[in-house]
C-alpha cells in the first residue's frame, strides 16, 4: 500500500469516529433534555392535582364544620353538593372511589345534623343509596 492510501484511510476512520461520537453525545443530550422536560411536566401535574385535592378537602371540611353547628344553609349546601355529584354521574352510573368516599363523608355529616330536633329529609338518602350500586372506578 502506498503511504497516501494509508493516510486517507486513517483520516476516514478518524472522521467516522468523530461523527459517531458526536451523534452519541447528541442523542444522550436530547434524551436527557426530554427526560427533564417529562419530569417537570409530571411534577407540575402532581402539584396541580395536589392543590385541587387540598381545595376540595378544605371545602368539605368547611361544610362538615358548618354541619356540626347545625347551620341550615350548610345543610342546603351539602344537599346541593351531593345532588351535583349524583347529576354529573347518573347517566354512566360510575363514580371514582375518591368522590364516592367524599360523598359518604358528606352524607354522614349531613345526617348527623339536628335542626329543630329533626334530621334533614331523606331525599339525599335515596340518591346516596342509588349511588351505592354504581361502579366505582
pLDDT digits (tens, 9 = 90+) for 13-56: 777 788 888 878 878 888 888 888 888 888 888 888 788 778 87
Residue 7 has pLDDT above 80, yes or no: no
Contact 57, 85 (CB under 8 A): no
**Stretch among 13-17, 78-82, 89-93 having the lowest mean pLDDT:** 13-17
Type and span of the H or E element at 95: strand 94-95
The three cell numbers locating residue 29 = 443530550
Residue 68 confidence (pLDDT): 66
Residue 60 confidence (pLDDT): 78
DSSP class per residue in 105-119: HHHHHHHT--BTTBP
Residue 27 confidence (pLDDT): 81
Hey, CA dihedral for 72, 74, 76, 79, is it positive or negative? negative
Average pLDDT over the chain, rounded to whole? 80
Residue 6 confidence (pLDDT): 56
Give the span between the Cα atoms of 45 and 137, in whole angstroms: 20
Rounded to two decimals, the pTM is 0.48
Map out the domains of the chain as residue ranges. Answer: 3-136
Residue 2 has pLDDT above 60, yes or no: no
**Mean pLDDT score, 119-127:** 81
Q: Which residue has the higher pLDDT, 86 or 5?
A: 86
Amino acid at each position: 500500500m502506498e503511504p497516501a492510501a494509508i493516510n486517507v484511510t486513517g483520516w476516514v476512520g478518524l472522521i467516522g469516529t468523530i461523527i459517531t461520537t458526536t451523534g452519541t453525545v447528541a442523542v444522550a443530550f436530547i434524551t436527557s433534555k426530554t427526560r427533564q422536560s417529562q419530569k417537570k411536566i409530571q411534577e407540575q401535574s402532581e402539584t396541580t392535582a395536589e392543590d385541587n385535592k387540598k381545595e376540595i378537602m378544605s371545602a368539605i371540611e368547611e361544610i362538615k364544620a358548618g354541619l356540626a353547628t347545625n347551620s341550615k344553609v350548610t345543610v342546603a349546601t351539602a344537599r346541593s353538593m351531593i345532588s351535583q355529584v349524583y347529576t354529573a354521574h347518573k347517566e354512566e352510573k360510575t363514580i371514582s372511589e375518591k368522590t364516592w368516599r367524599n360523598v359518604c363523608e358528606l352524607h354522614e355529616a349531613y345526617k348527623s345534623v339536628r335542626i329543630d330536633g329533626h334530621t334533614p329529609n331523606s331525599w339525599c338518602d335515596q340518591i346516596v343509596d342509588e349511588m351505592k350500586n354504581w361502579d366505582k372506578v
